[in-house]
């Protein structure tokens, strides 16, 4: 079953509103919650589980968490493999917070970084900090 959403967009040539019809499926709707504040998220580093994660509240599942997983190629060379953010929290900068935390952590440790995850490759390309470029290795 689909929901119909109407939005009014001003035209470029005049101030008259144009009615545009969008068809939105329930699976495409994002849950919004007053308790979710990206600026107050706490990143936890689980060294044993080789992941950085953020516990998220207010979603469909009370135990929701966003995760960035990694593995060691060598003691000083890490593969950032996978990033997952529950769908209702996507688009709020949660993955970026995980990416910055992981990159900064491994740069501070002096480790080389291989970003295998496509999101982390995008993060790296969008954030060309010299401290990152010195440590990213693609082989």
Tens digits of residue pLDDT in 103-139: 999 999 999 999 999 999 999 999 989 999 999 998 7
Cβ atoms within 10 Å of 5's Cβ, excluding its own: 11
CB 93 within 8 A of CB 37: no
Q: Enumerate the domain spans of the chain.
A: 40-133
Give yes or no for a contact between 73 and 113, defined as CB atoms under 8 angstroms apart: no
**Strand-pair partners of 3:** 24
- Whether the CB-CB separation of 67 and 53 falls below 8 Å is answered with yes
* Percentage above 90 pLDDT, the chain: 61
For 15-28, the pLDDT digits (tens) are 333 333 333 333 43
Measured torsion, CA atoms of residues 28, 118, 106, 77, in degrees rounded to the nearest 10:
150
Report how far residue 59's alpha carbon sits from residue 65's, in angstroms, rounded to the nearest whole number: 10
pLDDT tens per residue across span 58-102: 656 656 899 999 999 999 999 999 999 999 999 999 999 999 999
What 3-state class would DSSP assign to 97? Answer: helix
Tokens representing 136 are 């990213």
For the domain made up of 40-133, the CATH class stated in words is alpha beta
- Which pTM value belongs to this model? 0.71
Max CA separation in the chain (angstroms): 63
The dihedral built from the CA positions of residue 98, 102, 103 and 108, taken in this order, carries a sign that is positive
């Amino acid at each position: 079953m689909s929901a119909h959403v109407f939005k009014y967009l001003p035209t470029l040539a005049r101030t008259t509103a144009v009615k545009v019809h969008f068809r939105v499926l329930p699976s495409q709707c994002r849950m919004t919650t007053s308790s979710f504040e990206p600026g107050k998220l706490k990143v936890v580093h689980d060294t044993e589980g080789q992941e950085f994660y953020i516990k998220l509240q207010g979603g469909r599942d009370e135990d929701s968490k966003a995760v960035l997983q990694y593995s060691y190629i060598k003691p000083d060379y890490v593969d950032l493999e996978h990033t997952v953010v529950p769908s209702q929290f996507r688009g709020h900068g949660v993955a970026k917070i995980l990416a910055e935390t992981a990159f900064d952590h491994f740069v501070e440790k002096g480790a080389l970084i291989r970003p295998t995850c496509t999101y982390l490759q995008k993060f790296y390309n969008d954030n060309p900090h010299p401290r990152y470029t010195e440590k990213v290795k693609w082989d």
